[in-house]
Amino acid sequence: MSQSFDEISAQLKRRHRKSARLKWLSMGALGLAGLFLVIFFADMLGKGLPAFQQAQIRVEVTYSEQSQQLPLAAVNEDVRELVSRGWLRTLPMMMRDNPQLLGTSRQEWVLADGQVDQYLKGHYTRLDDDEKEIVDALAEQGRAELQFNTTFFSRGDSKMPELAGIMSAAMGTVMTLLVTLAVSFPIGVMTAVYLEEFAPDNRLTQIIEININNLAAIPSILFGLLGLAIFINFFGVPRSSPLVGGLTLALMTLPVIIIATRTALRSVPDNIRHAAFGVGCSRWQVVRDHVLPLALPGIMTGSIIGLAQAMGETAPLIIVGMVAFIPDISASVTDAATVLPAQIFTWAGEPDRAFVEKTAGGILVLLTILIAMNATAVVLRKKFERRW
């Protein structure tokens, strides 16, 4: 039966209303996701930016034999409880390294205790009323203020919040990622080249491809269990080391690199291969001299994204023990170390209020690095990508 004009118009109006609803629902979902992202960054910035400042107080420091034996004697009694105990413990070493300091007394900016730092930032503190009055008097005299927190970027972990920093975790992260890159990149690229360019299309190859795709989707903690069973229990790789962490993350990154490399190889037109075969190149020469150079931008993009994903992982590294208390920078890949995500996880469990801002500050640093890595991947793809 033929429909009348009114019926057709009613159907079109219903379709247009459905399209409009879908459009507004999509825009609402996008706006809601953007709102959550803004709230997250606002919360992290509000909590994390104070971590980049640290309270310092200007006091008279006396370098004497008595203060070398008893560091508390180096400062006056009225400000003794306001100075960081961790800083006072470094005085004997400073006097041993600089003998000319003995017998001198001078005004210096020194690291304040964590409670003083929290008080100057307007947070809850355990300082008593007399100590608060002293801090207020020092602040009015310009002898107590918040300065840029170089300690946060130059020192390792500490149980004293004013001395806790990310340096040892950052270096552990770098060493772990170098191991991950050294293992996963060549193996992943060679595996992808074989599967895409050389392997016959049979049942075994199909099973391997299916398993690679499945490995890219399994929970990361399973890779930690695999690393614990193989690298630590079977091969005896040192626990908590960047070596075992890097090998574990390499297992997790391999599927990502393989899939990205295969996609990049498929993007190279077959005309390139046919032309190379036409001038007498062998299959290996075609892949090495023509296909791989053209696919390299896609391979690099996928590898960087895979490393960025590995850098943010915590669960597999917890399984292999990379949550140890590491105050110093590891000397080699076999020494005990920690990484930024694990350091943030450790700080999040500390009861001291000062570690809340340390946690948020560590998250900001980690987010900055991850955003930079992903931005680098996008820039490389835009700069070197060829459209056929």
Please write the tens of the pLDDT for every residue from 139-175.
999 999 999 999 999 998 998 999 999 999 999 999 9
pLDDT one-digit tens code per residue, 165-216: 999 999 999 999 999 999 999 999 999 999 999 988 889 989 998 999 888 8
Assess contact for 341 and 366: CB atoms under 8 A: yes
Min mean pLDDT across 130-134, 204-208, 281-285, 320-324 is at 320-324
- pLDDT reported for residue 124: 86
Q: Residue 378's pLDDT is what? A: 83
pLDDT of 388: 64
The per-residue pLDDT for 57 is 93
352 pLDDT more than 90: no
Size of the chain in residues: 388
- The answer to whether 48 touches 364, Cβ cutoff 8 Å, is yes
The whole-number pLDDT of residue 2 equals 59
The pLDDT value recorded for residue 68 is 85
Q: Which residues contact 104 (CB under 8 A, 6 or more apart)?
A: 62, 63
Q: What value does the mean pLDDT take over residues 282-293?
A: 90
Q: What is the pTM of this model?
A: 0.86
Quick: pLDDT tens for 65-101.
888 888 888 888 888 899 999 899 988 888 888 888 8
Task: Look up residue 107 and give its two tokens.
Answer: 């005004």
In this structure, of 3-12, 131-140, 265-274, the range with the lowest mean pLDDT score is 3-12
Domains belonging to the chain, first-starting first, are: 50-149 (no CATH), 167-384 (1.10.3720.10)
Task: Tell me what pLDDT residue 101 has.
Answer: 85
Question: How far apart are the C-alpha atoms of 339 and 326, rounded to whole Å?
Answer: 10
Confirm if 197 and 262 have CB atoms less than 8 A apart: no
Q: Is the pLDDT of residue 1 over 60?
A: no
Q: How far apart are CA 249 and CA 247, in angstroms?
A: 5
DSSP alpha helix (H) spans, 80-166? 85-89, 91-97, 114-120, 129-140, 150-154
Residue 377 structure tokens: 């991947």
pLDDT in tens, 30-42: 999 999 999 988 9
> Using 50, 70 and 90 to split pLDDT, how confident is the model at 349?
confident
